[in-house]
Amino acid sequence: MHELACVCDGLSQAKVFLELNRTFSLNNKASNLTAFDLIWHLLNFFAPAFGIGVIAAGLTKLIWRRELRHRTWLKLSLVGVAACSVVAVLGLFVFGQDGKMLTYAGMALACAVTLQLLMR
C-alpha cells in the first residue's frame, strides 16, 4: 500500500521507480531485482508453457480439423497454455526450481489431456 500512497502524493516517477525497486528487491545488499527484472523473469518462466500450449493447439487443430471445426484455435490455445502454466507452477513448488524435465513432461501431458477433453 506504501507504493500507492507514494503515487497518490504526486511524487515524481523516478521516486516511485526507486520505491518499486526497493520493494521488489529480495535483499538490497545481495540482489537488485527491479520491477522490470521481475516481469522479465515471469515472462521467461511462462514462455515454455505458452510455447507448448500454442504449438499443441495448432497441431491439434490441423490434425483433427473436422472434429474441432466448432472450436477456435484461440480457445484451444488458451486452454493449453492455462494447463501448462498450472503444471509449471506446481513443478516450481514441488521441485523448488523451474526447468526440470519432469515438469516439461507434465506440461506436455496436461496440455494433451485438456485438448483431448475439448474434442468431446
Contact between 111 and 83 under an 8 Å Cβ cutoff? The reply is yes
Cα 8 to Cα 102: distance, rounded to the nearest angstrom = 46
* pLDDT of 30: 55
For the chain, 120 residues long, the average pLDDT of each consecutive 10-residue run is 51 58 56 88 96 96 91 95 97 93 96 92
Q: What is the pLDDT of residue 6?
A: 47
Contact 88, 29 (CB under 8 A): no
pTM (2 d.p.): 0.71
Q: Three cell numbers at 35?
A: 520491477
Contacts for 75 with CB less than 8 Å, ≥ 6 apart = 118
Enumerate the H helices of the chain as residue ranges: 2-8, 13-23, 35-63, 73-95, 101-118
pLDDT for the residue numbered 14: 56
